Amino acid sequence: MEEEQHWPAHIEHQVDLYMQYLAVEKRVSEHTLDHYFSDIEQFIQFMLAERIQDFATITHVDVRTFMGRLSRDREKRTIARKLSALRSLYEFLRREGWVEKNPAKAVQSPRLEKKLPNFLYQDAIERLLSAPDTTTPLGLRDKALLEVLYASGVRVGELVALDVPDLDVSQGMALVFGKGSKERLVLLGSQALQALQAYFAYGRPTLWQQGGGVAGHAVFLNKNGTRLSDRSVRRILDKYVLLCAGLQHISPHTLRHTFATHLLDNGADLRAIQELLGHSSLSSTQIYTHTAREHLERVYTNAHPRA
């Protein structure tokens, strides 16, 4: 039987500090943390198999060899994510003085086909938002949760991090902390505000008491009265997708895409959408113009006599 390999203590220490940095300073979601840790763990197993005991001795050739072995049975998008995880790790190690350079930067990422974002049409989003049973505390929470996701376009990590003081109900706004700990204001809209008010009046107090108040100011609580996790949000959404015939492959990010697509379809300025989504670059937002163009082409084909 092959003997189990253990990480050298200094590598384990460096990875622990890096994961703390991602969680505390970069405020990445639990889901992203899991992916990054898994990718780095896989790279360290490669290092140990090659008898490499230190991040500082890794070269771009080693990184390329690792990526080459991955390419045999993995999609390009997965390989690109793993390379991104290594680049991020090495940037951290370089800033901390543990390595001199980032060998992952010298390795080219696989070319990816541009994937258009999945979104819901108006009738589908209405069915999804109407699915929760608002006669129960959990149903009130789920209704508010779904309404806020669609109304604001926030990421799931931003949603679960919301605290009550972050909400300004009178102004219909919320302060969220996005990638890189960047603050931004998002708009909530009348339907989301109504759902939040019902949840705060008849849902959250019950859930908060069940947890004995340990959740503090967290907006969205689970059945035990503690802060909801991003994984729980995904499970909640999956539950309602099953209840709505015709819906599939829907994630919390789908509601973010739906938010942006519906704004663009109804005449919103692309730069305004960029601000609301918290994109640092307009190029990240421009993908929604492709979605809008496809929608217009379908409408034209179906409606024009000479299409």
Instruction: State yes or no: is 253 an active-site residue.
Output: yes
Indicate which residue of 179, 223, 234, 295 is catalytic.
179
Question: Catalytic pick from 81, 127, 231, 253?
Answer: 253
Q: Is 155 a catalytic residue?
A: yes
Between CA 232 and CA 303 the distance in angstroms is 42
Polymer length of the chain: 307
Q: Which of 143, 204, 227, 279 is catalytic?
A: 279
Asked about 256 being catalytic, the answer comes back as yes
Catalytic residue among 155, 227, 257, 262: 155
Structure token pair of residue 200: 């705060």
Q: Is 150 annotated in the active site? A: no
**Residues with active-site annotation:** 155, 179, 253, 256, 279, 288
